[in-house]
A and B are shown apart, each in its own frame.
Chain A
Amino acid sequence: MNINTGKSINLKHIFFQSLGVAFLGAVLGSLLIGFKLQSRGISLELDWRLSQVLAVAFFVFLGRFCLGLQQIKLGLLSIFVTIAVCAYMITAILLSVQTPESSKAGNHLLLPYSDMKLNWMTSVIYLGLFLYLIYRFFKKRTVLDSRIQNKKWKFRLNKNIQMILIIAFLLLLISAPFLQIIDRRILNILTQILLYIVLGWGLSIVVGLAGLLDLGYVAFYAVGAYAYALLSLHFDFSFWLSLPLAGLLAAALGIILGFPVLRLRGDYLAIVTLGFGEIIRMVLVNWYEFTGGPNGINQIPKPALFGYLFDEPKGNGNTVSEWLGIEYSSETFYIFMYLLVLSMAFGVFWFIRKLRRLPIGRAWEAIREDEIACRALGLNPTNIKLTAFATGAMIAGFAGAFFAAYQGFISPESFTFVESITILAIVVLGGMGNLFGIALAAILLIFMLELRDLEMFRMLALGVLQVFVMIWRPHGLISRRSPTVYRLMSTKGVS
């Protein structure tokens, strides 16, 4: 399809292009995996792992070459190559996993990387490549066919299949904590991701829809968390009573901050919100009597399920394990919290989708697009911005309450500027107003931040990822903006 770009693409051209990309990959890859810290006696030394870098270069080269082949109508060949690589990698991985420790050394030779994660990554990337090539292969065909039929070709699944897929996905999400492979650590990461997704969605109202750059979003998160912690400790408020209060408090703070601040625009607004975030953190650190200062707040009560506690049974029958008749395990609580956060995520998702289709949601987008036009249409920009700010803050407040309940311990450490930036990065990477994109970005980012094996390089990788996203997808991973009115469009009676 790219043949009509004017340049003639031939095998040689593709070969050298792939070499260039492979070189680039090797350079970048050597930063990430080319070195290994070894402790020899008393000194630390850097080992230069040439074989690993060569493997990276090889796989990048092969992948790019396959993509090139697809362009000169050798798509079928590249499909075979990619699936072959993928199959080889997976078999080798499975072999090395299944064989006992003693004979492992031999099988390890089959694998290009010594780190298992990289092996997995390579196979997943090749699987993705394979799927993409297949998609391109068949798409081309269909386009040709459709030319004959003079019909517009569209990739759309059958409604029923779509429904089944969605339901299956939901079931998977709900049943995830009960699966064998999900241990305590992974469950923790999943819950974290969910919290970040919710925060990202909340911020996407402010930044994505209303276009107000907020660098102090984490302040509202902190307010929600401290609201729950303090209310439950000092006033014995239950979680379910504190939750709306936490949201309301955060929203109220959003409005109080918004009034003086929202007449500012762009960079100025960003600076002021940044300052506001720091003020809140400073208050938390220094108001020792109230917030516990840098030590934070300990032993925040766990939320109860219909009045039953997630504690060790003491024989008076008010714990969840006795009520449900299951064996006591500390894990039950984390499963419960995961499901709780998951349901909140669904709630927020539904809420934002609804809001977007209401006049207020449309007004938020309009204010981002053109404030003068909004004024000319009789909208009050200040009110619109305030509602956006307050709604975003409220969602952060909810998330904060969940966070405090989940961790059982909060301190100002959790609400630093870096958190604000992480959430903002999620929103920007995901594609401003797009909920699915933001969820995807949150998964990517948090996984990356949790990759403890890559240690200090994860920040570098994060930076590289952001640079590349900005080059290739400047509007975020998913930048599609779906219109907010559907039904009225198709009304026949209108015309």
Chain B
Amino acid sequence: MVDINKQEKANILALKDVHSFYGQVEALRGVSLQVKAGEIVSLIGANGAGKTTLLMTICGKPKAQKGEIIFLNQSIVSKPTHEIIRLGIAHCPEGRHIFPKMTVMENLLMGIAETSKEFFKQDLKRIFDLFPILYDRRTQRGGTLSGGEQQMLAIGRAIISRPKLLLLDEPSLGLAPIIVQKIFATIRQLNKELQMTILLIEQNAYHALQLADRAYVLVNGYITMQGTGQELLTNPEISKAYLGG
């Protein structure tokens, strides 16, 4: 009943019974989930539950062996990775993966498929408004940034091409708690101000659930639970398993 508004919103991304393998090992055993326009959806789970695999499968590497992945009313299961990304999915991979020897500016440039100058300036301005620190650091090499700045750079690089869906893989990985807070604040800002649809994967379940409109819990390749972020936060099972009591 609460979700009447959300029901009307179109699915941006929908996974239906997706199975994915690493060689013989089945990493995803029939995952179904939806991401609707303007939502932040969090996916939490323990190590090895298949969270990162899920994101990689959406991006087509590894390919889903069974099931269907629909992005903007279009099946993307059989497409190669670079085409999927160009449809408007931005993937901010686990561990940041910035280009350490290239400057911040060049890193950002890599996120843009076609460099039309007018567009480019606007996009850059958008990123620098969001992360003023990157403007100060724009001539510095990526590798000389601090962890938090690198994460901002990775997010900035991912969203500079105006994606329709942002996949964030553990943005809090290896960051100091205060920086983690900042990153999550930024994610909320992205969602509220730029109406970015976000699928967020986190180990840090508390933050992820607080942030999320809806959330899924992934265990051993199955989705075991779903609900709004608040629902899951107050769920005793969740708090026992993921929130430390």
**Nearest Cβ distance between residue B63 and chain A, in whole angstroms?**
14
Question: Is B115 located at the chain interface by the 8 A CB criterion?
Answer: yes
A366, A494, A495: which contacts B102 (Cβ < 8 A)?
Answer: A366
Question: Is A106 located at the chain interface by the 8 A CB criterion?
Answer: no
Question: Is A148 located at the chain interface by the 8 A CB criterion?
Answer: no
Contacts of B120 in A (CB 8 A): 488
Instruction: Type the 1/0 row for A461-492, where 1 means its CB is closer than 8 Å to any CB of B.
Output: 00000000000000000000101110011010
Contacts of B139 in A (CB 8 A): 483, 489
Contacts of A369 in B (CB 8 A): 99-102
Question: Is B240 located at the chain interface by the 8 A CB criterion?
Answer: no
**Nearest Cβ distance between residue B100 and chain A, in whole angstroms?**
6
Question: Is A373 located at the chain interface by the 8 A CB criterion?
Answer: yes
Report the bound CA distance from A379 to B91 in whole Å: 12
Report the bound CA distance from A494 to B135 in whole Å: 9
**Nearest Cβ distance between residue A376 and chain B, in whole angstroms?**
4
Contacts of A377 in B (CB 8 A): 85, 110-111, 157-158
Instruction: Type the 1/0 row for A366-402, where 1 means its CB is closer than 8 Å to any CB of B.
Output: 1001101111111110000000000000000000000
Chain B CB count within 10 A is highest, among A359, A363, A491, for A359
Question: Is A493 located at the chain interface by the 8 A CB criterion?
Answer: yes
Question: Is B67 located at the chain interface by the 8 A CB criterion?
Answer: no
A365, A370, A380, A481: which contacts B97 (Cβ < 8 A)?
Answer: A370
The answer to whether B138 and A378 touch across the interface, beta carbons within 8 angstroms, is: no
Report the bound CA distance from A391 to B86 in whole Å: 25
The answer to whether A366 and B99 touch across the interface, beta carbons within 8 angstroms, is: yes
Interface size on B, residues (CB 8 A): 37
Contacts of B59 in A (CB 8 A): 375-376
Which residues of B in the span 70-93 have a Cβ within 8 Å of any Cβ on A?
80-82, 84-86, 91-93
Residue of A with least CB distance to B129: A495
Question: Is B207 located at the chain interface by the 8 A CB criterion?
Answer: no
- A365-B99, A483-B139 known; A376 vs B91 contact (CB < 8 Å): yes
The answer to whether A376 and B135 touch across the interface, beta carbons within 8 angstroms, is: no
The answer to whether B93 and A376 touch across the interface, beta carbons within 8 angstroms, is: yes
Question: Is B130 located at the chain interface by the 8 A CB criterion?
Answer: no
Residue of B with least CB distance to A482: B103
- A380-B80, A483-B139 known; A488 vs B101 contact (CB < 8 Å): no
The answer to whether A494 and B125 touch across the interface, beta carbons within 8 angstroms, is: yes
**Nearest Cβ distance between residue A152 and chain B, in whole angstroms?**
14
The answer to whether B128 and A494 touch across the interface, beta carbons within 8 angstroms, is: yes
Question: Is A458 located at the chain interface by the 8 A CB criterion?
Answer: no
- A362-B106, A373-B93, A375-B61 known; A495 vs B101 contact (CB < 8 Å): no
A-B contact count (CB 8 A): 88
Instruction: Type the 1/0 row for B89-131, where 1 means its CB is closer than 8 Å to any CB of A.
Output: 0011100011111110110011101010000110011001000
Contacts of A485 in B (CB 8 A): 103, 105-106, 109
Report the bound CA distance from A359 to B106 in whole Å: 10
**Nearest Cβ distance between residue B113 and chain A, in whole angstroms?**
6
The answer to whether A376 and B106 touch across the interface, beta carbons within 8 angstroms, is: no
Instruction: Type the 1/0 row for B159-177, where 1 means its CB is closer than 8 Å to any CB of A.
Output: 0010000000000000000
Residue of A with least CB distance to B92: A376
The answer to whether B81 and A375 touch across the interface, beta carbons within 8 angstroms, is: yes
Contacts of B86 in A (CB 8 A): 378
B84, B103, B124: which contacts A494 (Cβ < 8 A)?
Answer: B124
**Nearest Cβ distance between residue A355 and chain B, in whole angstroms?**
15
Instruction: Type the 1/0 row for B193-220, where 1 means its CB is closer than 8 Å to any CB of A.
Output: 0000000000000000000000000000
Residue of B with least CB distance to A491: B121
The answer to whether A378 and B124 touch across the interface, beta carbons within 8 angstroms, is: no
Chain A CB count within 10 A is highest, among B82, B103, B105, for B82
Report the bound CA distance from A483 to B61 in whole Å: 32
Report the bound CA distance from A377 to B83 in whole Å: 10
The answer to whether A488 and B85 touch across the interface, beta carbons within 8 angstroms, is: no
Contacts of B102 in A (CB 8 A): 362, 365-366, 369, 483
Report the bound CA distance from A380 to B81 in whole Å: 8
The answer to whether A370 and B109 touch across the interface, beta carbons within 8 angstroms, is: no
The answer to whether B97 and A372 touch across the interface, beta carbons within 8 angstroms, is: yes
Report the bound CA distance from A370 to B101 in whole Å: 10
Task: Contacts A366-B110, A372-B93, A375-B59 known; list 6 others, CB within 8 Å.
Answer: A369-B99, A376-B85, A379-B82, A380-B82, A493-B121, A493-B125
4 smallest CB-CB distances across A and B, nearest first, come from A378-B85, A373-B97, A369-B99, A376-B91
Q: What are 28 A-B pairs with beta-carbon distances under 8 A?
A: A359-B115, A362-B106, A363-B110, A366-B110, A369-B100, A370-B97, A373-B93, A373-B98, A373-B110, A376-B59, A376-B92, A376-B158, A377-B85, A378-B113, A379-B110, A483-B103, A483-B106, A485-B106, A488-B105, A488-B120, A488-B121, A488-B124, A489-B105, A489-B139, A494-B121, A494-B125, A494-B128, A495-B132
Interface of B toward A, CB cutoff 8 Å: 59, 61, 80-82, 84-86, 91-93, 97-103, 105-106, 109-111, 113, 115, 120-121, 124-125, 128, 132, 135, 138-139, 157-158, 161
